[in-house]
Amino acid sequence: MGKITVETCEIEGLKIITPSVFGDERGYFMETYNYNDFKEAGIDQVFVQDNQSASKKGVLRGLHFQINFPQDKLVRVVNGEVFDVAVDLREDSKTYGQWYGVTLSAQNKKQFFIPKGFAHGFLVLSDYAEFCYKCTDFYHPNDEGGLSYKDEEIGVKWPIPEGMELTISQKDTQWKSFADYKAGKKA
């Protein structure tokens, strides 16, 4: 091991991964993913799809999840900076409904592992950001779920600087509250 450092978070299952970066006058090299290192660190998933998005400052995406085909995700930023958030939707968890956020950037090279059972979203803090994520299941367009990014019960403290205008997709403005989500689970 030694190629990655893994930090656990207050919410069980979430992990922050920092790779070893080898640099010299030419630039740097790092392994962004090595199955053996991740397995040794307790992240023993098989990723089947890689995604990448580009967004401008103030774009807020989320909070998303797959309903019947949940995904583990390993996310990172290759250009720019985002504030990345995971919300615990595991009903049997002692942190059900709680959130955790971490700043991911091209500079800090951190990755965030989000297991199945979480909603996920991010806010772009830099002028431009490219966001990459590995998933353990394929995307199913008819299986999308989401929560309002501004749900008061969850209470995500998005680091929105004064004067920042948010850009949010029409779909993301329509997601319901956490209370509605819980009521729907009981129905």
Q: Sorting pLDDT into bands at 50, 70 and 90, what band is 184?
A: confident
Burial of residue 36, with CB atoms counted within 10 A of its CB: 0-12 exposed, 13-18 middle, 19 or more buried: exposed
Are the C-beta atoms of 89 and 119 separated by less than 8 Å? yes
**The pLDDT of residue 3:** 86
Residue 148 forms part of a structural domain: yes
Residue 168 forms part of a structural domain: yes
Q: Taking CA 104 as the corner, what is the angle to CA 5 and CA 10, rounded to the nearest 5 degrees? A: 60
184 φ/ψ angles, rounded to the nearest 5 degrees: -65, -30
**The pLDDT of residue 46:** 96
Q: Is the pLDDT of residue 187 over 60?
A: no
Are the C-beta atoms of 89 and 81 separated by less than 8 Å? no
Measured CA to CA in angstroms, residue 86 lies from 37, 63, 83, 119, 156 at distances of 23, 8, 10, 6, 9
Domain encompassing residue 175 = 46-186
Give tens-digit pLDDT for 112-154.
999 999 999 999 999 999 999 999 999 998 999 999 999 999 9
Give tens-digit pLDDT for 18-76.
999 999 999 999 899 999 999 999 999 999 999 999 999 999 999 999 999 999 999 99
CATH number, domain with residue 114: 2.60.120.10
Q: Sorting pLDDT into bands at 50, 70 and 90, what band is 185?
A: confident
Residue 33 forms part of a structural domain: no
The total number of structural domains that make up the chain = 1
Would you name the residues annotated as active-site residues? Answer: 64, 133
Q: Sorting pLDDT into bands at 50, 70 and 90, what band is 1?
A: very low
**The pLDDT of residue 156:** 98
Q: Sorting pLDDT into bands at 50, 70 and 90, what band is 161?
A: very high
**The pLDDT of residue 152:** 96
Return the residue matching tokens 């990172």. Answer: 76
Higher pLDDT, 28 or 187: 28
Residue 10 forms part of a structural domain: no
Residue 29 forms part of a structural domain: no
Residue 13 forms part of a structural domain: no
Residue 149 forms part of a structural domain: yes
Q: Sorting pLDDT into bands at 50, 70 and 90, what band is 10?
A: very high
